[in-house]
Amino acid sequence: MDTLIDKFSAENISGGELKKYFIMPQERTAQEEFCDKVRTLLSSRFGGSPKAFVHTYGCQGNVSDSEKIKGQLLKMGYTFTSSPEDADLVLFNTCAVREHAEDRVLGNVGALKPIKEKNRDMIIILCGCMMQQKHISERIKKSYPYVNIVFGTFAMHRLPEMLYTVLSRGKRVFLTEESDSRIAEGLPVCRDRGAKAWLPIMYGCNNFCSYCIVPYVRGRERSRLPGDIIKEAKELVSQGVKDITLLGQNVNSYGKNPDCSVNFAALLREINNIPGDFIIRFMTSHPKDCTRELIEAMAQCEKVAKHLHLPVQSGSDRILSLMNRKYTREEYLDLIKYAKSLMPELSITSDIIVGFPGETYEDFKETVSLIKEVEYTSLFTFIYSRREGTKAAEMEDPVPYSEKSKWFKELCDTQEEIASKRTASMVGKTYRVLAEPNEKEGILSGRTQGNIIIEFPGDESLTGQFLNVRVTKALTWILCGELC
């Protein structure tokens, strides 16, 4: 394994083909110099530590990016606060996946205006997927003059340089071009999930599902090198992390760009070989690239959680084709059948879109029949949201929102029944879970391998340990239990 680490790590790249995929060491040094300059500037201005408020919208990929943003802020001398009123710097890492997500961000940016009027030196930063859209960054430039920095999904590693420009010259900075989509290794990471950690393995998406904005705002697929991933996984394990989630929009195409001669199934096996008591999770798998080889690796690797998040989006072949998903209902169900044959206890979850343009009630009913057939553990369900610039945005969409909402409710009711049956069947069984803190006094939580939450009485000192918990009662979505 050490040969992989030596050969396939961004640290060892000096040029050649790989240069176009990774930020070079000299550019990283330049940012570290900016980091020092910001730190000096801040300490002369503030004396003590200035405070930053960081809020993240969207998926785990964004949460993982925010951990790197916070890592950089920490290095520049900031500490963190949970209230924007208290902050010297407010940063929103935004999501563009649905209109509702964007509206929330704009509402919250509007709410910062009176706060900034009271604290004129406060720095406001907007970044992430939403900012990678031209019409949004232009709107911010014109209508939100109190925002100091806007950067897209490709410029996170240049935060020190941007902050230095604002602090030293008072200039607004907009950095949203897509030309630079290289991976920045070696950024400091500020993790605050205790014994759990996100571990990104790839960025971007090449799939262009017709409804989805992600490929436009996150660029093309690019993978981290296996050596860097394994090194990070080993570090996490040695720091006491016991639950690692590998992240990517389409983890099954890991290792293709650049070609690292290690595919996702092989990567899983390598991580599984790292000594230690920990769980490996991953998301998201695209059904068109989910291979039997991967399912076999899942079944054989004892540390890999027996949970597959495999978004189907729709049960109708007509809609799947309009969505450009590149698989049929039958192919999807075959995959599920194979996975269940190797892992009878497998927990399967999915994402569903209701009311795609042109979807009829008959199409929708096929989705309902599919979810009954698969018997998912849980679903993330969404009503279709029109995204400017995508293929689906140009399609006829005659069904009114009120009708789609009725279908949505029908879907949720059906899933609720399936979930209740599953949780009820778990009563009396014992599961090994990683103890996590819970908001309720004297209660801890844990997740089964299948990602179902069990709440149980226990002392806070047990958090971060694997415990055996017997299920005593089932609610629809979660379980109650007691320590064995």
Residue ranges that bind ligand SF4, judged by CB under 6 A: 205, 207-209, 212, 214-215, 249-250, 286
What's the CA gap between 44 and 30, in Å, rounded?
22
Summarize as ranges the residues that interact with ligand F3S (CB under 6 A). 58-59, 61-62, 95-97, 129, 213-214, 217-218
Among ligand SF4, ligand F3S, ligand SAH, none, partner that 58 touches (CB below 5 to 8 angstroms by kind):
ligand F3S
Question: Which residues, listed in sequence order, are joined to residue 482 by a DSSP beta bridge?
Answer: 470
β-strands 479-483, 307-309 pairing: unpaired
CB 166, min distance to ligand SAH, A:
32
Nearer to ligand F3S, 50 or 152 (CB): 152
Among ligand SAH, ligand SF4, ligand F3S, none, partner that 187 touches (CB below 5 to 8 angstroms by kind):
none
Query: CA-based Rg of the chain, rounded to a whole angstrom?
Result: 23
- Of the residues 38, 149, 290, 353, which one makes contact with ligand SAH according to CB under 6 A: 353
Nearer to ligand SF4, 255 or 458 (CB): 255
358 binds ligand SAH (CB under 6 A): no
Q: Which of 252, 211, 206, 236 has its CA nearest to residue 64?
A: 236
Residue 229 CA, chain-centre distance (Å), reads: 16
Among ligand F3S, ligand SF4, ligand SAH, none, partner that 208 touches (CB below 5 to 8 angstroms by kind):
ligand SF4
Q: Which of residues 67-96 bind ligand SAH (CB under 6 A)?
A: none
Question: Which residues, listed in sequence order, are joined to residue 223 by a DSSP beta bridge?
Answer: 202
Residue keyed to tokens 């989630």: 245
β-strands 89-94, 51-56 pairing: parallel
What's the CA gap between 169 and 460, in Å, rounded?
48
In b/e form, how buried is each residue of 106-137, taking b as 16+ CB within 10 angstroms? Answer: beebeebeebbeeeeebbbbbbbbbbbbeebb
What's the CA gap between 280 and 243, in Å, rounded?
6
Q: Which of residues 203-222 bind ligand SAH (CB under 6 A)?
A: 211-212, 214
Among ligand F3S, ligand SAH, ligand SF4, none, partner that 242 touches (CB below 5 to 8 angstroms by kind):
none
Residue keyed to tokens 């900016």: 34
Q: What is the 3-state secondary structure (H, E, C) of 219-257?
A: CCCEECCHHHHHHHHHHHHHCCCCEEEEECCCHHHCCCC
Among ligand SAH, ligand F3S, ligand SF4, none, partner that 410 touches (CB below 5 to 8 angstroms by kind):
none
Tokens of 72: 């950089």
Give start and end residues of each alpha helix (H) in 119-199: 134-143, 159-169
First-to-last alpha carbon distance for the chain, in angstroms, is 38
Q: Which helix (H) or strand (E) holds 424?
A: helix 401-425
Nearer to ligand SF4, 186 or 215 (CB): 215
349 close to 307: Cβ distance less than 8 angstroms = yes
Among ligand SF4, ligand SAH, ligand F3S, none, partner that 353 touches (CB below 5 to 8 angstroms by kind):
ligand SAH
Q: Which of residues 250-289 bind ligand SAH (CB under 6 A)?
A: 250, 284, 286
Residue 441 CA, chain-centre distance (Å), reads: 29
297 binds ligand SAH (CB under 6 A): no
438 binds ligand SAH (CB under 6 A): no
98 binds ligand SAH (CB under 6 A): yes
Among ligand F3S, ligand SF4, ligand SAH, none, partner that 61 touches (CB below 5 to 8 angstroms by kind):
ligand F3S
Nearer to ligand SF4, 207 or 347 (CB): 207
Residue nearest to ligand F3S (CB): 58
Give start and end residues of each alpha helix (H) in 112-225: 112-118, 134-143, 159-169, 214-218
Among ligand F3S, ligand SF4, ligand SAH, none, partner that 98 touches (CB below 5 to 8 angstroms by kind):
ligand SAH
User: Mask: binding to ligand SAH, 365-404, rule CB under 6 A, as x and -?
Assistant: -----------------x-xx-x-----------------
Among ligand F3S, ligand SF4, ligand SAH, none, partner that 129 touches (CB below 5 to 8 angstroms by kind):
ligand F3S
Binding site for ligand SAH (CB under 6 A): 97-98, 211-212, 214, 249-250, 284, 286, 311, 313, 351, 353, 382, 384-385, 387
